[in-house]
Amino acid sequence: MIGSWGLLRATVLRLHDRPATSAGDLALLMSIADTSAVTSAGGGGTDPAGDPRATRLRALVELACGGDAEAFGQLYDHYLPGVFRFVYYRVSSRTLAEDLTSETFTRALRSIGRYEWQGKDFGAWLTTIARNIVTDHYKSSRNRLEVVTEEAPETGPVQPGPEDEVLESLTNAVLMDAVRALPDEQRDCLLMRFVQDMTISQTAEALGRSEGAVKQLQLRAVRRLAREVPREAVT
Please tell me the pTM assigned to this model.
0.73
Percent of the chain at pLDDT > 90 equals 37
Amino acid letter at 58?
A: R
Cβ-contact 172, 234 below 8 angstroms: yes
Cβ-contact 90, 181 below 8 angstroms: no
Is the pLDDT at 42 greater than 80, yes or no? Answer: no
Domain ranges of the chain: 4-234
Rounded mean pLDDT, 3-9: 73
Cβ-contact 112, 65 below 8 angstroms: yes
Q: What is the DSSP letter of 158?
A: P
CA distance 215 to 200: 7
CA distance 71 to 81: 17
Torsion angle of the four alpha carbons 159, 162, 167, 173, in this order, in degrees rounded to the nearest 10: -30
Is the pLDDT at 215 greater than 50, yes or no? Answer: yes
CA distance 117 to 58: 9
Instruction: Tell me the per-residue pLDDT of 108-132, one tens digit each, with 9 for 90 and over.
Output: 999 988 887 656 789 999 999 999 9
Cβ-count burial of 159 within 10 angstroms (0-12 exposed, 13-18 middle, 19+ buried)?
Answer: exposed
29-33, 37-41, 43-47, 136-140 — which is least confidently predicted?
37-41
Residues 6+ apart with CB under 8 A from 120: 205
Q: What is the pLDDT of residue 31?
A: 54
The length of the chain is: 235
Q: What is the pLDDT of residue 104?
A: 96
Instruction: Tell me the per-residue pLDDT of 135-193, one tens digit each, with 9 for 90 and over.
Output: 999 887 454 555 544 443 454 444 444 444 444 444 467 888 899 899 999 999 999 99
Q: What is the pLDDT of residue 118?
A: 57
Tell me if residue 96 falls in helix, strand or coil: helix
CA distance 59 to 46: 10
- At 88, is the pLDDT very low, low, confident or very high (cuts 50, 70, 90)? very high
Q: What is the pLDDT of residue 73?
A: 95
CA distance 95 to 38: 29
Amino acid letter at 59?
A: A
Higher pLDDT, 91 or 2: 91
Instruction: Look at residues 138, 149, 119, 117 and name the one whose alpha carbon lies nearest to residue 180.
Output: 138
Instruction: Look at residues 128, 150, 135, 137 and name the one whose alpha carbon lies nearest to residue 205.
Output: 128
CA distance 38 to 36: 6
From the candidate CATH numbers 1.10.150.310, 3.40.50.970, 1.10.1060.10, 1.10.1740.10, the one assigned to the domain spanning 4-234: 1.10.1740.10
Rounded mean pLDDT, 205-232: 89
